[in-house]
Each structure stands twice: as structure tokens, then as C-alpha cells.
């Protein structure tokens, strides 16, 4: 193992450290101007991290039944708490996350035989995404011919991470008897984090838009002004012995490390019965081929063992999202309800024969398209325009013309990529991903009220 006090083993790639445009308590900085500070472990050991800024992101989620609160539409709202760090702190978290992943966690996973098991937030899985991981699992399942499947979900994972256990696992991965000063400072800033509510800051100083319009680059003129504000407005703190913020650049790597013992135990179970185990963030799956020694009674015992392991390492499994299935005769059976069912994994649904995207994915695409087009049409009427505004955005997000939109593409290009990947990786399943979007041009044209004169 490497000496974690020598951080120069991972050379900082400045192209990955973009200066971001959000407002915080400090000014925006360029990585070139602070690189020597960010990579100096003695400086970080004494660094004073700024409080985070917290806000709640609400989004609509599709459900099976109609919801009277939303005009009987099959949706509900889901809240996600997001916290983000100051500009300098963000660079520190990003760099330490990169070092932790590349120099320590990746090596730890390879040495322990779980490198293929953990797929999210890994910097040695470049070019792979949830599509690849879902296709690989489904293809393996089909190759087994008959298999038992245990899927699970960690409940409120980031909010439930036990600090003492995280500290222990972090020290093990870093190969340190106790955390060095810089690593402890980073660890403490993420576990005993301070924060202010974004809504409170906006009430005090105006909206972010109005502050930016006045050419201000921060909520405060300088750090001294912020410290004055701090004296009069006490920083809110996480006083619990559990929970880390979602949104910081290092939180996801810490979350992976926290589950390392769980991963090792589940990998042992998979190996014992010639199966496979995979975890993507807080979603995990265990697939074990059916055999003389692995029957329904045995898989139920394995499920009990999995719950025990989760409890031992202070991970709570979501009751409603933990399922036990049998893949047999080109069908998926729910063992608990004893009914024909399907496997829902990483955004894809497998019924034993066909693979599709979750139904809510195309639904969300069309709903967002409708919302954007309706907004543009209202602006056109209000401003008495002759042409529809926001065409570039509409075509970029809602049609095949947006394959390179914002350098990432859009939902259609995602679906095309998924179709191609599944056809390559899982050739023995009937992959109907693009079928779910086959009438997209007509549907978008109907929303627009005119034909798009280009072949898409």
C-alpha cells in the first residue's frame, strides 16, 4: 500500500477541475491558482472548511396508481436534500476523492477480489455506465438458464452512514492505524459538517439571480464579512453520529468504502454458489444459479444471511425494495408472492425474455418535452413573436437532432446507446428499448403543432 500522506502520487489533471458558477461564501477560484494548496497534505491538515449550503430538490416520480393530489396523474413528489461546498473546498474534496479512489480504494478492491462487484463512482470504470452493468447482469442470468435473484436497496443510505464505522473502514483502505491529520480533517468536515439553508441566505441577501445581476461573485465581499455573519447567525451542524451530505465530491467514495465489508461478505456468498454479486451505489443484486444444493429454501436462508450482514455493518435494507425472484422457463417469478413478475434493475426491466427501460423513463421524457414546448408557446403568445422561441433547446432535448446536446446528448441518444449496448452485451434477450420511443417524431410534432422538416 502507498503512504497516504504523500498525495503527489496522483497528479492533478486540471482539465477535470472546472471553476463552477454557483454562489457560495467564498469567491470562485481557478485550480491553477490553488493547486499547490489543494495537493499539500500539511495545508489540508489545518484547513478550515466552510459550512455547506443546503437545499431540498423536489422532483416528480411516477407511481403505479393515480394520485388525487396531482389531478389523478400517476405521480408523487420526492424530496432529495442536496448540500454543496465552497469553491476551494470543492476542489479539495474532488482531489482527495480522486486520490482515495485511484491510489487506495481501487487497489483495495482488486486485492480483495471485489473490483468487478462495485460499479458506481469508480474512476477505473471509464466508459462504462449503468447500461453496461445492467446488461452484464441480465446476460449472465440468461446464461445460467435458471437462477435465483436477490435484489436490495439501502434505505436513505447517505443519511444513515455510521461515522465510527466509516472511520474504521477508511483507515483500513488507507492502510493507516489511525487517520493522518489531513484525512481526519477531511473526514470530520464531511461527518460533522456545518451548513446554512439556501432559502435563509436568499431571504437575507436576495435570490442568486439578483446577486449575480449586481455583478457579485459571492454572498459576501470577503471571508471576514462571512465570519461576522457567522457570529450573528449560528451555523447549523450535524450533531448525529451518522449521516454524510449528498452533493460533496468525496461523499460517494466514502459511501462505497462504508459498504466494503458488506461487499466482501456478499461476494463470499456469490462465490460459494458460483454466482455473481454487484452493487451500484445503494442498489445491489445477487444472482445464483439454481442447482441441487441451491433451492428455494436455501435462497431464503441466503436472504436471511444478507439481512444479518447488513445489520452487522449498520446498513438498513429497504423493505419495499428488497425482492427475491426465480428466473426459469424464460420468466421471472416473485418467490414471496408466487406470481409471474419482472426484474427492475438500474433503470431497465427484464421479464425473462424482453428488456425495456422502466416505463417511467419514456413517460418522463414526454412529460418534460410537453412542459418545455408549452412554456415556449406561452412566451411566443405573450411577447407576440412570429417564431417559436427556445427552438434550439427544444430540438436539442426532444429530438434526434440533440445527439450531441451540451456534449452529453439527450434521452433519445441515451436510449439508442442502451439499445446498442444491450444488443452487444446481452444478445440472447429481446431488447425493445428503442421500441418505446418509436413514434417520438410524431408525438413531438403534435406538441409543436407543426412538422419538423428533417429526417430523424
**Which regions of 282-360 does DSSP assign to beta strands (E)?**
283-289, 323-328, 331-334, 339-341, 343-345, 348-350, 354-357
Q: What is this structure's pTM?
A: 0.89
- Distance separating alpha carbons of residues 393 and 261, to the nearest angstrom: 45
pLDDT digits 0-9 by tens, 163-183: 999 999 999 999 999 999 999
**327 bridge partner residues:** 147, 332
The pLDDT, as a whole number, for residue 372 is: 97
Average of pLDDT values for 247-261? 96
- Distance separating alpha carbons of residues 61 and 52, to the nearest angstrom: 27
Q: Of 130, 77, 61, 59, nearest to 363 (Cα)?
A: 61
Exposed/middle/buried for residue 361 (C-beta within 10 Å: 0-12, 13-18, 19+): buried
| pLDDT > 90 fraction of the chain, expressed in percent and rounded | 83
Helix, strand, coil fractions of the chain, as percent rounded to 5: 50, 20, 35
Q: pLDDT class for 4, splitting at 50, 70, 90? A: very low
Q: Of 429, 410, 409, nearest to 419 (Cα)?
A: 429
Q: What residues contact residue 356 under an 8 Å CB cut-off, 6+ apart?
A: 348, 349, 432, 433, 435, 436
The pLDDT, as a whole number, for residue 405 is: 80
pLDDT digits 0-9 by tens, 283-320: 999 999 999 888 999 999 999 999 999 999 999 999 88
Specify the pairing of strand 283-289 against strand 147-153. Answer: antiparallel
Start and end residues for every CATH 3.30.70 domain found in the chain: 126-160+255-353
Which CATH number is 126-160+255-353's, of 1.10.1760, 3.30.1490, 3.30.70, 3.60.90? 3.30.70
Instruction: Please give the backbone phi and psi of residue 60, each rounded to the nearest 5 degrees, phi first.
Output: -85, 140
pLDDT digits 0-9 by tens, 321-334: 889 999 999 999 99
- Distance separating alpha carbons of residues 279 and 263, to the nearest angstrom: 8
The pLDDT, as a whole number, for residue 75 is: 67
Strand order in the sheet with 348-350: 343-345, 348-350, 354-357, 430-431
pLDDT digits 0-9 by tens, 53-88: 999 987 666 656 666 655 656 666 778 899 999 999
- Distance separating alpha carbons of residues 23 and 218, to the nearest angstrom: 5
Return left, alpha or beta for 338; rule: phi > 0 is left, psi -120 to 50 is alpha, else beta.
Answer: left
Q: pLDDT class for 2, splitting at 50, 70, 90? A: very low
- Distance separating alpha carbons of residues 281 and 384, to the nearest angstrom: 49
- Distance separating alpha carbons of residues 107 and 175, to the nearest angstrom: 11
Instruction: Please check whether residue 287 is in contact with residue 144, taking contact to mean a CB–CB distance below 8 angstroms.
Output: yes
Q: Quick check: 8 pLDDT over 60?
A: no
The pLDDT, as a whole number, for residue 10 is: 58
The pLDDT, as a whole number, for residue 80 is: 86
Distance of CA 451 to the CA centre of its chain: 37
Instruction: Please give the backbone phi and psi of residue 10, each rounded to the nearest 5 degrees, phi first.
Output: -105, 105
Considering only residues 127 and 86, tell me which one the structure prediction assigns the higher pLDDT: 86
- Distance separating alpha carbons of residues 165 and 314, to the nearest angstrom: 8
Q: Quick check: 407 pLDDT over 80?
A: no
Mean pLDDT of all residues in the chain? 92
- Distance separating alpha carbons of residues 53 and 17, to the nearest angstrom: 20
Q: Of 261, 266, 290, 295, nearest to 278 (Cα)?
A: 266
Q: Quick check: 344 pLDDT over 50?
A: yes
Q: Of 372, 371, 411, 365, nearest to 393 (Cα)?
A: 372
Q: Of 436, 424, 351, nearest to 135 (Cα)?
A: 424
Considering only residues 407 and 447, tell me which one the structure prediction assigns the higher pLDDT: 447
Q: pLDDT class for 406, splitting at 50, 70, 90? A: confident
The pLDDT, as a whole number, for residue 403 is: 82
Amino acid at each position: 500500500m502507498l503512504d497516504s500522506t504523500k498525495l503527489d502520487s496522483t497528479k492533478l489533471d486540471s482539465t477535470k477541475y472546472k471553476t463552477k458558477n454557483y454562489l457560495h461564501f467564498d469567491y470562485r477560484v481557478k485550480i491553477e491558482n490553488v493547486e499547490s494548496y489543494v495537493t499539500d497534505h500539511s495545508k489540508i491538515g489545518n484547513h478550515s472548511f466552510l459550512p455547506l449550503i443546503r437545499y431540498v430538490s423536489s422532483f416528480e416520480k411516477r407511481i403505479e396508481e393515480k394520485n388525487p393530489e396531482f389531478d389523478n396523474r400517476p405521480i408523487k413528489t420526492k424530496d432529495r436534500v442536496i448540500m454543496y461546498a465552497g469553491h476551494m473546498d470543492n476542489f479539495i474534496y474532488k482531489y482527495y476523492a480522486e486520490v482515495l479512489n485511484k491510489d487506495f480504494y481501487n487497489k483495495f478492491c482488486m486485492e480483495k477480489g471485489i473490483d468487478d462487484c462495485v460499479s458506481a463512482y469508480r474512476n477505473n470504470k471509464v466508459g462504462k455506465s449503468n447500461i453496461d452493468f445492467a446488461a452484464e447482469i441480465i446476460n449472465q442470468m440468461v446464461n445460467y438458464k435458471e437462477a435465483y435473484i436477490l435484489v436490495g436497496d439501502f434505505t436513505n443510505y447517505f443519511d444513515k452512514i455510521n461515522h465510527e464505522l466509516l472511520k474504521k473502514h477508511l483507515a483500513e483502505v488507507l492502510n493507516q492505524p489511525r487517520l493522518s491529520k489531513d484525512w481526519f480533517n477531511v473526514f470530520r468536515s464531511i461527518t460533522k459538517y456545518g451548513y446554512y439553508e439556501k432559502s435563509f441566505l436568499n431571504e437575507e441577501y436576495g435570490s442568486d439571480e439578483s446577486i449575480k445581476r449586481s455583478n457579485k461573485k459571492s454572498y459576501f465581499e470577503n471571508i471576514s464579512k462571512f465570519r461576522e455573519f457567522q457570529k450573528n447567525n449560528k451555523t447549523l451542524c450535524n450533531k448525529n453520529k451518522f449521516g454524510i451530505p449528498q452533493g460533496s465530491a468525496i461523499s460517494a467514495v466514502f459511501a462505497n468504502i462504508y459498504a466494503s465489508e458488506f461487499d466482501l461478505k456478499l461476494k463470499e456468498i456469490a462465490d460459494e454458489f458460483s454466482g455473481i454479486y454487484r452493487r451500484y451505489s445503494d442498489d445491489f443484486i445477487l444472482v445464483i444459479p439454481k442447482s441441487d444444493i441451491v433451492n428455494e429454501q436455501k435462497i431464503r436462508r441466503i436472504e436471511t444471511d444478507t439481512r444479518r450482514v447488513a445489520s452487522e455493518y449498520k446498513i438498513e435494507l429497504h423493505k419495499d425494495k428488497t425482492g427475491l425472484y426465480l428466473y426459469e422457463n424464460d420468466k421471472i417469478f416473485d418467490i414471496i408472492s408466487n406470481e409471474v413478475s419482472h426484474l427492475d434493475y438500474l433503470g431497465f426491466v427484464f421479464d425473462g425474455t424482453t428488456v425495456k427501460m422502466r416505463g417511467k423513463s419514456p413517460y418522463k421524457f414526454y412529460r418534460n418535452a410537453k412542459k418545455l414546448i408549452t412554456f415556449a408557446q406561452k412566451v411566443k403568445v405573450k411577447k407576440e413573436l412570429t417564431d417559436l422561441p427556445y427552438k434550439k433547446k427544444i430540438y436539442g432535448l426532444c429530438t434526434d437532432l440533440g445527439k450531441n446536446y451540451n456534449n452529453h446528448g439527450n434521452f433519445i441518444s441515451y436510449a439508442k446507446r442502451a439499445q446498442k449496448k444491450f444488443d452487444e452485451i446481452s444478445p440472447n434477450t429481446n431488447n425493445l428499448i428503442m421500441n418505446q420511443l418509436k413514434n417520438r417524431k410524431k408525438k413531438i410534432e403534435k406538441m409543436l403543432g407543426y412538422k419538423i422538416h428533417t429526417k430523424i
